[in-house]
Amino acid sequence: MTTPPMTALGKYTFAFAILLSLGVLAAPRAQAQTFSVIHNFTGGSDGANPLSGFLLVDQALIGTTSAGGSSGLGVVFKMSPTGEETVLHEFTGGTDGATPEGRLVKGKGSNFYGTTFAGGSANAGTVFEVTGKGVETVVFSFSGSATGANPVAGLAIDAKGNLYGTTSVGGANGNGTVFELSPPSAGGAWTETVLYSFGTGTDGANPIGGVTFDAAGNLYGTTSAGGTYGYGTIFELSKSASSWTETILHEFALESDGGVPYAGLVADTKGNFYGAATEGGAGGQSGGGTVFELTKVDGSWTFSALYGLSGWGISGSYRNLLLIGDTIYATTHCDGANDAGTVYKLTPSGDTWTYDSLYVFTGGSDGLFSISNLVADSKGNLYGVTLLGGTDGEGVAFKVTP
């Protein structure tokens, strides 16, 4: 396999890999799907090397690239389902931020919020707002110390407009944070509150995924490292008065449960959570990761590994799963016949899950290394991105039809 260059991907994917009795439940089967590249990133003004996938708003695909643009430090763009792109903002690497890696979230009206890994007043990353007309405002600049540093994930937003997210490092112990940003009143500034600083490691370290709410307002997420075994955790933060308390729901052991989760969690209508780990699973420590579920029964959470992906090392699913009904859709980083990544779905059948391969990347003009969430339109078409590959080698936006 060809190792990706140390672009934005290298800042965390392989760096954190250094920092930091499930079999295959059903035989994989292939389905006849139609794959198409809708946009080839050129590395110029249109951007390059997208790390997260899209937000789908009114049939427009809203996303970011981690590189490209006039300064080579990434862009925010809007794209039609057929690939016509409009760049909304080009990052300069100054106070406006640089190298966006997380998925955007929609605020009021046509405003969107996101994070940058770098840039800002201390070059430790930012939270930014961009309007549908392309006006960018930095909401918060991380200090690199107590306030956290280098956010990789996107944000969650509540009904009051408060933003919640994670930083991969920084905080009181240098192992990352969970934070809240409250919007200003009467023309003031946004206010950051660090809800939790990951400690010496047993409570988790280096969150790459974001956080997700439950119906009661508790926050859930994953860390890519830490825990008893050092391979990451699943955590809950529950609020009591003005403080937040962390509870570890699972510690990954890099066995059948998987390990090193980069994805956050997604919830179904019953309050269960689903996520993915990049390593472990069917092959134990040499496996390609797992897809897992957390269910709550009588007040206690139960972890279940639903499927062990083939592959090796950190070849598994990096971003949040897409859950439609009871079917799971996702991409993998670099497994598949060409070590270039895949698009797949998992469908429940009784107590087992059936794996269907929707597309296997060749690593050429169709794209290479999908570190992307997926979105689906009303017709069930799936959209995502690859980090590299395409006609210019700078990544593609793709579509998979049902």
Q: Is the pLDDT of residue 107 over 70?
A: yes
Left, alpha or beta for 211 (phi > 0: left; psi -120 to 50: alpha)? beta
| 20 token code pair | 């930091």
Least confident of 19-23, 179-183, 377-381, 382-386: 19-23
Report the percentage of the chain scoring pLDDT > 90. Answer: 81
Q: To which residue do tokens 């499930």 refer?
A: 22
Contact partners, residue 53, CB within 8 Å, separation at least 6:
63, 103, 319, 372, 373, 374, 375, 383, 384, 385
pLDDT of residue 7: 39
- CATH ID of 8-401, from 3.40.50.300, 2.130.10.10, 1.20.1250.20, 3.40.50.450: 2.130.10.10
Please tell me the number of Cα atoms within 13 Å of 13 on its side-chain side. 27
- C-beta of residue 328 within 8 angstroms of C-beta of residue 322: yes
Nearest to 61 by CA among 96, 106, 98: 106
Q: Is the pLDDT of residue 97 over 50?
A: yes
* Residue 16 host element (H or E): helix 8-19
Phi, psi of 103 (to 5 degrees): -70, 145
pLDDT single digits (tens) 248-296: 999 999 999 999 999 999 999 999 999 999 999 976 677 899 999 999 9
pLDDT of residue 257: 96
Q: Is the pLDDT of residue 382 over 80?
A: yes
pLDDT of residue 32: 59
- Map residue 164 onto helix, strand or coil: strand
pLDDT of residue 1: 37
pLDDT of residue 154: 97
- C-beta of residue 156 within 8 angstroms of C-beta of residue 211: yes
More confident position, 388 or 22: 388
Helix H segments across 35-108? none
Nearest to 209 by CA among 234, 241, 190: 234
pLDDT single digits (tens) 198-235: 997 889 999 999 999 999 999 999 999 999 999 999 99
Q: Is the pLDDT of residue 299 over 50?
A: yes
Q: Tell me the β-bridge partners of 166.
A: 178
pLDDT of residue 340: 96
Q: Is the pLDDT of residue 16 over 60?
A: no
Decide the pairing of beta strands 290-297 and 273-277.
Answer: antiparallel
Q: Where are the domains of the chain?
A: 8-401
Q: Is the pLDDT of residue 166 over 90?
A: yes
Average pLDDT over all residues of the chain: 90
- C-beta of residue 398 within 8 angstroms of C-beta of residue 38: yes
More confident position, 227 or 350: 227
Distance CA 375, CA 104 (A): 12
Q: Is the pLDDT of residue 28 over 60?
A: no
Please tell me what DSSP assigns to residue 111: -
pLDDT of residue 31: 53
pLDDT of residue 244: 94
Q: Is the pLDDT of residue 4 over 60?
A: no
Q: To which residue do tokens 């980069």 refer?
A: 262
Q: Is the pLDDT of residue 317 over 50?
A: yes
pLDDT of residue 225: 97
Q: Is the pLDDT of residue 33 over 80?
A: no
pLDDT of residue 25: 35
pLDDT single digits (tens) 144-160: 899 999 999 999 999 99
- C-beta of residue 312 within 8 angstroms of C-beta of residue 259: no
